Amino acid sequence: MMNFNGRQQETKKSPAVTMKAIAGFILILGFTNVFSLTSHFSTTSLTIKYPLSQQFNSRSAIYFQTNHVRSLSHHSDTLHKSVQLATTTNSGMTEYEDLSEDEKRELGQSKTATPSSTSFKMNKEAFIFMTLLAIQFGIQPGLVRAYIPQTICKSSVVLVQEFLKFFFAAVSLFASGKETVSKAVKGAYKIDFGLDENVSHFFCILILELYVSCYG
Amino acid sequence: MDKKDWKFSTTIKIAGIPAFLYLIQNLSSLLAYQNLQPLTFNVLNQTKTLSAALCCYFVMGRKQSKKQVGSLFLLLGSALVMEKIVPLPFLSVGTAGGAAASLTMSTLHWTHGVAPILLASFISGLAGALCQKNLQSASGCGKSGGRNPFLFSMEMNFFSMCILLTSMLVSNDGKYIVANGFFHNWTPKTIIPVITNALGGIIVGLVTKYAGSVKKGFALIFGILISGILQAAGSGGGVQIEQIIGGVMAALSLWIHTAFPYREQSVNSKLK
């Protein structure tokens, strides 16, 4: 069994105290997150499915209007991405896009109040990716402690890591569609297509080569 | 040449400097990963929110809401509690020996665990702020807003590899690799955390794209929970009470920080 506690065990607590503490931790976190997520998703779905003016009396309308505003305020948070962007992971992946696809759609639907069959699908995608992120974030420290020896050359690990990130980013770029790739590469190529011979130029030509090899 | 043209110096400024910073961050994080318990690592790693807020304020002038400032203090408190810098007297019954343990805590824990992760967190905030500033500035890149995030990520990874390879020419790691081979001390399983770490970057991008930063914060809170459960379920140990309290404080801080951002509009409306 993988030892997620790592090599350096610190002071051990009695099982009863530990279990009580874990239970409390799980309860608090669980309630906080489940309620937050549930209210977020459910508010959005109510906003989409039931136009406020048609479905509710004044009192409930105020209640749902409040939730609606809260929901929208949540979405508007993404406009202030400075800190969230800066707290980007150590992967170096940036998040400087504007509103997410989900948020754009939700905002759009809340204006039109027309349900869409793709809404659930997209929420499902968001949920799956969030789950994957939580799992990755949760298991990563344990995996590193279990499988990366202390005596390993750290530069070799980071170099392979950077190469894999480059590879995965390239795969993601090409998987995002022909138009997206074309737009991204053309933009970069157009900017770099000057007389200056530099790394940036070389890099863009490399991208173009990959693009040509993939899409002919 | 047009100011919006993308020169090599501009490229270095946009992707090179952050890539260098992220490289140091990655090396520091790896060191901390190996010397800290999972829950401790994940909570201390969240202090990058604090550094990001500070760096964004000093670099870009971005403000924080009052609740966010409170959440940052809460986050700082969680780190202090977790590292037992701030003792919790009411837990003395449950943590008998905890004080003694804190006194006898190995220097290695601090020098190879806490210090590297705090450095990594600070660098993360600084690099993020610089990235955003450079991307948004007119002198950085003309149409930076239209740049593909995956392409930008590839650029930074490319620069990181270049810098790392160059540094190996003079560093001890380079000599070590020349003497023993690149994959010395690697096992087949070593590639697993390397792959998951690399995939993590892509997943973060996808979460941001499909769910947004707010929900990403919730995912990270769940991640802290998972690491706590795994640490507790692991053989030969458990989770200390300080770690649990620190984890809860960090999770609450993360939630408050993502749920109550600073809004310029509210200030304007008050003025009117």
For residue B163, the model assigns a pLDDT of: 92
Residue B249 lies inside a defined structural domain of this protein: yes
State whether A46 and A122 are in the same domain.
yes
CB within 8 Å of B128: residues ≥ 6 apart: A85, A86, A87, A88, B52, B55, B56
Q: What tens digit of pLDDT does each residue of A164-214 get?
A: 999 998 998 888 887 877 777 665 544 444 444 555 566 666 666 666 666
Q: Which of A25, A102, A184 comes nearest B228 by C-beta?
A: A25
Residues of A with Cβ-Cβ distance to B150 under 8 angstroms: 169-170, 172-173, 176, 184
Contact predicate B129/A86, CB 8 Å: yes
CA–CA distance, B214 with B260 (Å, rounded to integer): 10
- Sort residue A6 into left (φ over 0), alpha (ψ -120 to 50) or beta: left
- Sort residue B34 into left (φ over 0), alpha (ψ -120 to 50) or beta: alpha
Provide the residue type at B90 as one letter.
F
Domain range for residue B84?
8-271
For residue A6, the model assigns a pLDDT of: 45
Residues of B with Cβ-Cβ distance to A131 under 8 angstroms: 219, 222
Residues of A with Cβ-Cβ distance to B124 under 8 angstroms: 86-90
Contact predicate A184/A175, CB 8 Å: no
State whether A106 and A199 are in the same domain.
no
The count of structural domains within chain A is 2
Q: How many CB atoms lie within 10 A of CB A120?
A: 11
**% of chain A at pLDDT higher than 90:** 14
* pLDDT string in tens for chain B (272-residue length): 444 444 566 667 677 888 899 899 999 999 998 888 888 888 888 888 888 888 888 887 888 888 888 888 888 888 888 777 777 666 555 444 455 555 555 777 888 888 999 999 899 888 888 877 766 654 444 444 556 778 888 888 989 999 999 999 988 889 999 999 999 989 999 999 999 999 998 888 788 778 776 677 778 888 888 888 888 887 546 777 888 888 888 888 888 887 888 877 655 555 55
State whether A133 and A178 are in the same domain.
no
Q: What tens digit of pLDDT does each residue of A24-56 get?
A: 544 444 444 433 443 443 333 333 333 333 333
For residue A91, the model assigns a pLDDT of: 44
Are B120 and A172 in contact (CB < 8 Å)?
no
State whether A97 and A33 are in the same domain.
yes
State whether A8 and A110 are in the same domain.
yes
Residue, of B36 and A57, whose pLDDT is higher: B36
Residues of A with Cβ-Cβ distance to B143 under 8 angstroms: 187
For residue A136, the model assigns a pLDDT of: 93
State whether A88 and A114 are in the same domain.
yes
Helix (H, G, I), strand (E, B) or coil at B36: coil
For residue B230, the model assigns a pLDDT of: 85
Q: Which of A85, A159, A163 comes nearest B128 by C-beta?
A: A85
CA–CA distance, B156 with A170 (Å, rounded to integer): 12
Count of residues for chain A? 216
Q: Is the pLDDT reported for residue A107 higher than 60?
A: no
Substitution target from A88, A101, A199 for chain B, most B beta carbons within 10 A: A88
Q: Is the pLDDT reported for residue A101 higher than 60?
A: no
Residue B3 lies inside a defined structural domain of this protein: no
Residues of B with Cβ-Cβ distance to A122 under 8 angstroms: 210
Helix (H, G, I), strand (E, B) or coil at B147: coil
Domain range for residue A200?
153-216
For residue B10, the model assigns a pLDDT of: 64
Contact predicate B13/A199, CB 8 Å: no
Interface of B with A in 240-269 (CB under 8 A): 240-241, 244, 247-248, 251-252, 255, 257-259, 261-263
Contact predicate B80/B86, CB 8 Å: yes
Q: What value does the mean pLDDT take over residues A136-148?
A: 92
State whether A42 and A142 are in the same domain.
yes
CB within 8 Å of A105: residues ≥ 6 apart: A116, A118, A119, A122
Task: With residue B16 as reference, give the H or E element that holds it.
Answer: none
Q: Is the pLDDT reported for residue A79 higher than 90?
A: no
Which of A115, A147, A179 is the last residue before a domain boundary? A147
CA–CA distance, B5 with B259 (Å, rounded to integer): 38
CA–CA distance, B112 with A121 (Å, rounded to integer): 44
Q: What is the 3-state secondary structure (H, E, C) of chain A?
A: CCCCCCCCCCCCCCHHHHHHHHHHHHHHHHHHHHHHHHHHHHHHHHHHHCCHHHHCCHHHHHHHHHHHHHHHHHHHHHHCCHHHHHCCCCCCCCCCCCCCHHHHHHHHHHHHCCCCHHHHHHHHHHHHHHHHHHHHHHHHHHHHHHHCCCCCCHHHHHHHHHHHHHHHHHHHHHHCCHHHHHHHHHHHHHHHCCCCCCHHHHHHHHHHHHHHHHHC
Which of A129, A147, A165 is the last residue before a domain boundary? A147
Provide the residue type at B22 as one letter.
Y
CA–CA distance, B238 with B243 (Å, rounded to integer): 10
State whether A24 and A59 are in the same domain.
yes
pTM, two decimal places: 0.65
Are A91 and B248 in contact (CB < 8 Å)?
no
Residue B260 lies inside a defined structural domain of this protein: yes
Q: What value does the mean pLDDT take over residues A111-129?
A: 56
Written as six digits, the tokens of B101 are 């343990």
Residue B46 lies inside a defined structural domain of this protein: yes
Residue B1 lies inside a defined structural domain of this protein: no
Q: What value does the mean pLDDT take over residues A111-122?
A: 39
- HSE at residue B46, side-chain half, CA atoms within 13 A, is 38
CA–CA distance, B32 with A6 (Å, rounded to integer): 12
State whether A16 and A37 are in the same domain.
yes
Q: How many CB atoms lie within 10 A of CB A80?
A: 19
Are B56 and A76 in contact (CB < 8 Å)?
no
The count of structural domains within chain B is 1
